[in-house]
Every structure is written in C-alpha cells, then in structure tokens.
C-alpha cells in the first residue's frame, strides 16, 4: 500500500462590488484593477497552500503571469467574482488558474470577463532569499499532471528568453510626429511605500500590474484619442523583486497596431534609494493589448503606427507575429468549444 502526501486541489473565491474609483470616465473598470484582484486571489491561495505543511512559514511571491484575456468589460456597480484554483505544483513553484465573473446585481446576469494563469514561488519569512519546497497536489489523472509539467517547462524557457532583452530602455524624444512610437510613449514614476508591499517588504505583484496597465492605457489613449480598454495581457515576467523605498519607473511604448488593436510593451525599472550602490535594474516586462471604443462601447479602427528606423520595424514585425499567433489560438479554442 502506498501513502501519498499530496493534497486535494485547493481553491478559493472572493468578490467585491466595483466602485467609481475603480473605473475610467465612461464607467469601464480599469484593467489594472481587475489584474490586481486576480493577483490578490492567486497570492492568497498560493500562500495558504505553501503553508499547509510543517516548516518555515512563507509568502507566495508572483513570478509570472501568462497571457490574460479581457473577454468582456466590467462596469461600475457590478460585482466581481474571482475564483482561483491551484492546477500544478513543481518542487519550488505553484501554478494558479484564475477566472473572473461579472455580476449585474439588478438583472442577475453573469459573464466570464477574464481568465488568467499565474506562477508563484514561496519565499521564507525568515530569509527572503530562501525558496521553500512546495507541497504537491493530487491530480485527477496522469495526463493532467503531464500537461501541467509541459506548461511549467514552457514558461520556464520563455522567462529565460525574456531576460535576454532586459537591457533595452525607452528613450525620450522631443516634439515627435503624431502616430509615431515617440509621440505616445509614456512613463510613470512611483515611490514604493508600505501599503504597496507584502509582509516581506517587497511590492505586491498586483500593485505593479495596475501601474503597468495605467501606463499602457496612457500610451493607447495618446495614440487613438478615444476611450480605450484592455483587451489582453501577454505573459508578465517578474525578473527581480522590488523593495520598499525603491523608486520605480514604468515605461510604455507602442510596438504594433492592427486595424482594431494596439500592442504596448511595458517595462518596470527599479532604483533603490537607500542602497543606491546596487544600481537601477529591470524588474518586470510585459505586452498589453488595447482596443479603441466609441461612446456606445463599440470597437473603432486604430490609426496605423508610423515606424521610424529598423528597431521599430523589427519590434512591429515581432508584434505582428504575436498578434497572428494569438488570433490563430483564439480560432482554435473557439472551434474546440463548438
């Protein structure tokens, strides 16, 4: 007889009503607000699971967010239902699947608005550089475990490839021409305070993602001059932790436009004020996709991006490849559901 220490698949659900300060001027809830709720649910279930064993107490730190689709907008007065479930564990990481439903409490109508996959690493409360071993979970079948292992290996490879691009910076240009990369590129500077941080004194992943979405939204709005909403977020890679007291610079630039969507690349650079000798470093990177809407929330055509130079052309072609790949994946998923 074999004895297993694996646990049943843990899951949680949280909900809250959307308030006016969660939304833009036309009532659409900010994508960053939803991303923050997604991360909070993931952090809760990841931390709870990793502390279900004896030994060092720990906090689940966000390491990566896979592509996140915004299927429908959410509005002021609706209730967001966020459900999170652990779907795979490796020796030192946890995969969490999160779904978000919007509920109109007047009509009772519910819609699936978001689906996301997040990866967490448990860090010891006594020593932030010590990664704790993750308790295993039970899988419904060997095929489910094998599929999870493949997702783990794929994200691990992509994180390694992304680190190779971390030397890039966004340069400011004076008096740029409209619809160019330089015209819409934007930056936000934020001092990391105690309310932004975990028990470790490091920034919550959800706080960072909200700031990234704000900058990406500014870039999109400057390009279109219309109401814009987050359509999806490609993988968000958290390369290094950001400590309380750091000044972070969140920078965004347009990389690709199709007829109805825009891709914005966002970087987060951290500058330690107290430990200045450590120097500035690239902490997080991601690609956000936005769409332009009219007053009735119907999609509008996106002005074409004017490219200047080989680097912008190269980034545009890379963005186009991601756009076509994601489009093909959506069509495949749609066919499977029929």
Alpha helices (H) along 137-295: 142-163, 181-184, 205-224
Alpha helices (H) along the chain: 31-50, 142-163, 181-184, 205-224, 310-337
* 90: three-class secondary structure by DSSP: coil
Residues belonging to the active site: 24, 213
What's the rounded Cα separation, in Å, for the pair 234 and 162? 12
For the chain, the straight-line distance linking the first and the last C-alpha, in angstroms and rounded, comes to 43
Instruction: Answer whether 44's CB lies under 8 Å from 90's CB.
Output: no
Query: What's the CA dihedral at 143, 145, 151, 155 to 10 degrees?
Result: -160
What's the rounded Cα separation, in Å, for the pair 173 and 317? 22
């Amino acid at each position: 007889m074999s004895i297993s220490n694996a646990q049943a698949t843990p899951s949680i659900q949280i909900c809250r009503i959307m308030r006016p300060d969660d939304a833009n001027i036309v009532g659409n809830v900010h994508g960053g607000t939803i991303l923050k709720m997604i991360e909070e649910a993931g952090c809760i279930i990841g931390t709870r699971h990793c502390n279900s064993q004896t030994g060092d107490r720990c906090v689940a730190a966000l390491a990566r967010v896979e592509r996140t689709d915004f299927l429908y907008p959410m509005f002021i007065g609706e209730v967001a239902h966020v459900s999170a479930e652990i779907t795979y564990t490796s020796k030192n990481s946890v995969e969490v699947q999160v779904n978000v439903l919007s509920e109109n409490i007047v009509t009772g109508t519910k819609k699936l608005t978001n689906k996301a996959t997040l990866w967490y690493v448990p860090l010891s409360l006594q020593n932030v550089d010590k990664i704790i071993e993750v308790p295993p979970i039970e899988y419904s079948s060997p095929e489910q475990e094998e599929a999870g292992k493949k997702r783990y290996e794929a994200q691990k490879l992509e994180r390694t490839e992304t680190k190779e691009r971390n030397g890039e910076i966004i340069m400011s240009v004076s008096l740029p021409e409209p619809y160019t990369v330089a015209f819409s590129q934007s930056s936000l500077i934020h001092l990391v305070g105690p309310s932004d941080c975990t028990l470790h004194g490091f920034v919550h992943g959800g706080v960072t993602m909200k700031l990234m979405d704000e900058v990406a939204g500014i870039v999109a709005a400057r390009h279109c001059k219309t109401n814009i909403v987050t359509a999806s977020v490609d993988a968000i890679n958290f390369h290094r932790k950001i400590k309380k007291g750091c000044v972070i610079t969140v920078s965004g630039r347009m990389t690709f436009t199709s007829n109805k969507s825009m891709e914005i690349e966002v970087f987060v650079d951290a500058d330690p004020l107290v430990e200045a000798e450590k120097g500035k470093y690239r902490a997080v990177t991601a690609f956000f996709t936005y769409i332009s809407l009219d007053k009735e929330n119907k999609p509008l055509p996106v002005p074409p991006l004017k490219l200047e130079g080989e680097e912008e052309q190269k980034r545009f072609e890379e963005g186009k490849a991601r756009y076509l790949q994601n489009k093909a994946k959506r069509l495949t998923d749609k066919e499977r559901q029929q």
